[in-house]
């Protein structure tokens, strides 16, 4: 099955990188990211029916979300943002302002080298965000290895906000049948849990430029939560972690064709209706696109 979805398809995980003179990258980064403009991304997505984008704050911008906010302004109603902030310093005034500019989520990043919240632990960070974020229209996005996610299981289960896991849950070598895999699927069956079936090259021993989804994980995740899976490209496809050794080196992005990435995903799905849900209706509910309402637990 490789039919493109109807209009309104959403790429739910992208990063935009602006000129360093305007958007400086943090000193403690793993590498220097090259330009990746929203104009280029829209040109790639348009022929595929992808016209909506969720901008996720990358680690090399730290807690300076200016690039995300400026790009959201340019996208108007076709963009949503996920930012990185300190829950102890994120004021109600900032929450209101960010929401007005179409930010709807905060990212908890325990995967990248730069993590100013590492000392608190995932569970404590989640609890801090639950205490300050509005219940309607906001969510928490987690990127972390699967064992780190499972360590925070109690906090995740008790969340009063929707929680999204990045990149198939970053399962590493775990299979859906393994002990960790079964725990992940149990979590995903909770009504407030969502999964990004994104970046197949980040799953297990996949090739660095893999575009074909991991079949066993795709089948298990979409069976557990067909109405709470969304697709993302991870554009512009950051370099492999093993290559990120010099913060001053501008590394090339992975050489991945956007059309092939999406068509391989569609081909891996057995049901056109499921593809429509993952690319159109699920993200419309979660991110509040169009007439759909934002998800509330």
Instruction: Please give the backbone phi and psi of residue 157, each rounded to the nearest 5 degrees, phi first.
Output: -65, -35
Domain ranges in the chain are 9-287
Cα dist from 122 to 40, 113, 142, 146, 228, whole Å: 34, 15, 9, 12, 22
The total number of residues written for the chain in this structure = 297
Section 87-104 average pLDDT: 96
CA angle (54, 171, 139) in 5-degree steps:
35
pLDDT of residue 295: 35
CA distance 232 to 280: 12
Instruction: Please give the backbone phi and psi of residue 198, each rounded to the nearest 5 degrees, phi first.
Output: -135, 160
pLDDT at 246 over 80: no
Q: pLDDT, tens digit, for every residue of 9-58?
A: 999 999 999 999 999 999 988 889 999 999 999 999 999 999 999 999 99
Mean pLDDT of the chain, nearest integer = 92
The pTM assigned to this predicted structure is 0.94
Section 131-159 average pLDDT: 96
Q: What is the CATH number of domain 9-287?
A: 3.20.20.140
């Amino acid at each position: 099955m490789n039919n493109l979805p109807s209009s309104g398809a959403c790429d739910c995980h992208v990063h935009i990188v602006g000129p360093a003179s305007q958007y400086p990258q943090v000193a403690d980064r793993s590498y220097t990211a090259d330009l990746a403009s929203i104009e280029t991304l829209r040109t790639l997505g348009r022929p595929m029916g992808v016209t909506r984008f969720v901008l996720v704050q990358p680690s090399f911008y730290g807690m300076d979300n200016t690039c995300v906010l400026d790009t959201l302004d340019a996208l108007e109603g076709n963009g949503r943002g996920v930012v990185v902030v300190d829950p102890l310093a994120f004021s109600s005034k900032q929450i209101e302002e960010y929401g007005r500019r179409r930010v709807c989520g905060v990212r908890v990043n325990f995967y990248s080298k730069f993590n100013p919240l590492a000392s608190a632990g995932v569970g404590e960070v989640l609890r801090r965000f639950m205490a300050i974020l509005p219940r309607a229209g906001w969510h928490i996005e987690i990127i972390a290895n699967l064992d780190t996610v499972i360590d925070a299981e109690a906090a995740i289960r008790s969340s009063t906000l929707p929680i999204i896991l990045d990149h198939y849950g970053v399962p590493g070598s775990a299979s859906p049948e393994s002990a960790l895999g079964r725990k992940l699927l149990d979590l995903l069956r909770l009504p407030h849990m969502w999964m990004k079936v994104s970046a197949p090259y980040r799953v297990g021993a996949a090739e660095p430029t893999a575009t074909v989804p991991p079949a066993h994980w795709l089948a298990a995740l979409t069976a557990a939560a067909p109405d709470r899976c969304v697709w993302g490209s991870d554009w512009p496809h950051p370099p492999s972690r093993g290559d990120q050794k010099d913060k001053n080196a501008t590394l090339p992005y992975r050489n991945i064709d956007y059309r092939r990435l999406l068509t391989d995903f569609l081909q891996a799905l057995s049901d056109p209706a499921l593809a429509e849900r993952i690319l159109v209706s699920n993200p419309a509910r979660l991110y509040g696109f169009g007439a759909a309402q934002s998800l509330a637990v």
